Amino acid sequence: MSSAGPGSEKKPETSPGANPAAAADAKTSLRDFSGLIALIGAGKMGGALLQGWLRLGLDPRKVIVIEPQALPYLSALAQRGVRLNPGAATLQQADVIVVAIKPQGADEVLGALAGNVAPSALIISIMAGRTLRFLTNVFGRAGAMVRAMPNTPAAIGRGITVAVAAQADPRQRGIAQLLLGATGAVEWVDDENLMDAVTALSGSGPAYVFLLAEALAHAGAAVGLPGDLAERLARETIAGSGELLHQSRDDAATLRQNVTSPGGTTAAALAVLMRADGLARLITEAIAVATARSRELAG
C-alpha cells in the first residue's frame, strides 16, 4: 500500500469505465441570478423545480409562487422569503414565468393570469401536451416561449428534461437551461413534433421501469422466493443497474453482454425476452401507442 508523501495531494480515484457526463457540474449555481421567477403551480413537478433552484443557491426572495393548495412545504419556504400567492398583478415584475400546472385546467388558470405577464417575460411550460402554439395563444403579449417535458426522477435531481424553444434568444435559452437543469439533465430539440415521442419515451418511461421492477418481483415470488425478498432484490437490481448504466462509458448492449455467459442462466432468460415477440417488440409497440396518444391529447 502506498501513501502520499508530505505536501503531495492525493488525486481522486476514478473507474476506467466511468462516464464523465455522469458527474454533476459543481459550477452550476443560481446564486447570481438577478431576475424574478414566477412559478405557477408548485405540486410534484413544480415543487421539484423550486427545491432544485433553492438547492442551487437561488435567493428565495427572487421567487413568486402561485399555488392555491395549502402545501406545508410552501409555508416553510414563505418564511425564508418566497412570495406565496401575492396577487396576479405581481406577475408584471417577473422576468421568467414557469408554468407547472396540470394541462386540464390550463385554460382557466392561465386565462386569469396571462394579462399580467410582461411582454419581455420568458415563458417556460412543463405542461404535458400543451404546444408552443397554445402558449402563444394564451400569452399573446409575451415573445419567448420554451416547452419542456421533464420526468418524475426530477424529484431527486436525477430527471431528464427535453425542451424546444420559440423566439428565444441564446440568453433566454441559457436561462431555461439553468432552471430546467436544476432537476437533472436537459436536452434540446429543434422540431416540436418530436415532443410526442419524447413524452412517450422519457416522460412516461419511469412507469415502464417501475413495471419491470413489479414483474421481476412477481416472477421471483413465482419461483419460490419470499415476496418481500423478491421485491427488495428487484428494486435494488433496477436501481443498481440504472446507476451502472448512468456511470459507465459502455452502451446498454455492451453492459448486457457483460452479464451474459454463453449457455448460462442469463442467456437462457434472454432467449425468451429477445425472441421475435419478446420485450423489444412490446416496448416498440408501447412507445408507438404512447406517441400517438400524445399527439391526440395535443390536438
* Residue 19 predicted with pLDDT over 60: no
* Residue 9 predicted with pLDDT over 50: no
* Closest residue by Cα to residue 84 from 117, 121, 138, 46: 46
Whether 126 contacts 148, CB under 8 Å:
yes
What residue type is assigned to position 10 of the chain?
A: K
Dihedrals phi, psi of 285, to nearest 5 degrees? -65, -40
* Residue 213 predicted with pLDDT over 60: yes
What residue type is assigned to position 134 of the chain?
A: F
Q: What is the pLDDT of residue 113?
A: 94
Query: pLDDT tens across 157-194, in order?
Result: 999 999 999 999 999 999 999 999 999 999 999 999 99
- Residues 6 or more apart whose CB falls under 8 angstroms from that of 112 comprise 88
32-45 average pLDDT score: 95
Q: What is the reported pTM?
A: 0.88
Q: How confident is the model at residue 123 (pLDDT cuts 50, 70, 90)?
A: very high
Domains observed in the chain: 25-191 (3.40.50.720), 205-298 (1.10.3730.10)
Q: What is the pLDDT of residue 1?
A: 41
Q: What is the pLDDT of residue 17?
A: 53
Query: pLDDT tens across 105-122, in order?
Result: 899 999 999 999 999 999
Higher pLDDT, 7 or 273: 273
* CB neighbour class for 232 (10 Å; exposed up to 12, middle 13-18, buried from 19): middle
